[in-house]
Structure 1
Amino acid sequence: MTSVSTEAPPVRAPGLGRRLRLSLLLIPPLAWLGVAYLGSLAVLMVSAFWTTNSFTGAVVHTVTGDNLTRVLTDELFRAVTIRTVGVALLVTVLCAVLAVPLALYMAKVASARMRLALVVAVTTPLWASYLVKAYAWRVMLSPEGPLQWATGHSPGYGLIATTITLTYLWLPYMIIPVFAAFDRVPNSLVDASADLGASDFSTLRMVMAPLVFPGIAAGSIFTFSLSLGDYIAVTIVGGKSQLLGNVIYGQLVTANNQPLAAALSVIPLVAIIAYLLAMRRTGALENV
């Protein structure tokens, strides 16, 4: 009689061919990340320690800390930095205030057809040109524009106009993650809270808010970082206002001082890293 073996077949390690195919698949994106992205960022950081020829304006590869010293001690740069961070935080708060009720309605109240219509309405502006939208707000906020005709008052061009324009531009980047966060909240939790006698506000505050907050924090990463680095909107609607983005652009293009522009670029880079580290504790990075 022939005996039947009951031993399990040995588990084979992934073959060399499979590992090779996986390596070939990963090499192009990792090379792009390491060379094109991180490499250019490293060159930017190194160029902050260079200087320029005072006569020709050419970049001189002489190591010096004068640019960083000037950035840290110059009162103008300090004021522009505080103004830029303040505008970025204000835009983030305004986007959150506008996004939360709309995202809540889309996720928990609206019918399927209305939800689809609202999702289309929120995402459609993302397909429009950035410049077209910015110039549209320039027309809207003009002292002789439609806002002046309709209300008899227009903020004109300045920080208020910049804040309004940036809030409009980046609002979809807040709505989408907040909507996704609300949509992930089980309806059973909301029903259980109501069955236990909690009011709608109490349910929103004690049940939904802790679950949705990581989504708000994820959206804030987009709105804060995009506002911090923007220089086009403030050029179009900011009037005489200056933010870090257009100061860096001016040093790079107008003043032809690449090392000083690179040194100024360190400020938003450090601010964004600090903001990401702060948001990491909220679980925001898992919702990005």
Structure 2
Amino acid sequence: MLWLGVLYLGSLAALFITSLWTVDAFGAGIQRTWTLENFRTLFTLDVYRTITFRTLLTAVAVTVIDGLVAVPVALFMAKVASPRWQRILVILVLTPLWASYLVKAYAWRGMFSTGGPLDSVGLSPGYGLSATIVTLAYLWLPYMVLPMYAGLERLPDSLLEASADLGAGTWTTMRRVVLPVLFPAAVAGSIFTFSLTLGDYIAVKIVGGTNQLLGNVVYDSFLTGNNMPFAATVSLIPVVVMLAYLTAVRRTGALENL
């Protein structure tokens, strides 16, 4: 409670206070007078609304892709593979997390580059938003697979057998037996993939081309523009989005069933 109350919530409070400050006309120093000028700039300029919408679209796309890929993988790991292969598959899922973030991002840059493996077979979309979504979906996939695997592992095999004995087909069993158990785990995984995508800026710089996400605006405003108050203002958008998302998730009761 001390950690959450003082360090985490205190940091968020400091972030909000900083967003109310401005820089002087020459950008040399911070003026600690409270104003809503940063929020006015953020909400009135079309470029920031476009970047916000692009960031949310990317986060949703990454989460959906990871969810669709993780369901069959987690289902096979939990209900089809033998105990020995379960351990091996868990290690294989975890192995990409042991590699450097930059190594994986630059590996995808090579995949999407002109003359690269994907380009040689006519499948490379080039650098841009599509490449960013694919790269981030790969980077965060383990965070979706592991919660789903943990959720499905707790599903008793007797429920699947009972469903089959009562005449339910594969899709009926998936809809009425598996999905209710899988939903809380999918929500837990989506919190990781969605929030990590909202804050990412490195992969966007590597494979995103000219596209920017909110993380890039924060990075450029803080380091390049030397405008810490505006960077703090932009940083509040992912915070507010995640608070709204967690509130909506909590109302579904998914977090209580984890």
Q: How high is the TM-score relative to the length of structure 2?
A: 0.96
Task: Write out per-residue CA displacement over residues 112-170 of structure 1, whole angstroms, 9 at most, x where no aligned residue.
Answer: 12211111110111111111111111111111212222x13311100000000000000
Residue among 122, 125, 128 paired with 1:158: 128
Please tell me the residue identity of whatever aligns with 1:228. L
Greater Rg over alpha carbons, structure: 1
Task: Write out per-residue CA displacement over residues 229-248 of structure 1, whole angstroms, 9 at most, x where no aligned residue.
Answer: 11111011101001111011
> Do the aligned residues in 1 keep the contact of 2:27 with 2:227 (CA within 8 Å)?
no
Query: 1:67 aligned to 2:38?
Result: yes
Query: 1:174 aligned to 2:139?
Result: no
Query: 1:216 aligned to 2:186?
Result: yes
Matches within 5 A, 1:1-288: 30-149=1-120, 151-286=121-256
The equivalent of 1:11 in structure 2 is none
Task: Write out per-residue CA displacement over residues 180-204 of structure 1, whole angstroms, 9 at most, x where no aligned residue.
Answer: 1111111111110000111122111
Q: How high is the TM-score relative to the length of structure 1?
A: 0.86
Q: Paired residues, what number?
A: 258
The RMSD of aligned alpha carbons is: 1.3
> Do the aligned residues in 2 keep the contact of 1:50 with 1:64 (CA within 8 Å)?
yes
Query: For 2:5 and 2:28, how far apart are their aligned partners in 1?
Result: 31
**DSSP 3-state at the match of 1:281:** helix
Q: Which runs of 5+ in 1 are unaligned?
A: 1-29
Query: For 1:175 and 1:286, how far apart are their aligned partners in 2?
Result: 20
State the identity %: 57
Give the deviation of 1:286 after TM superposition.
Answer: 4.0
Q: Which runs of 5+ in 2 are unaligned?
A: none
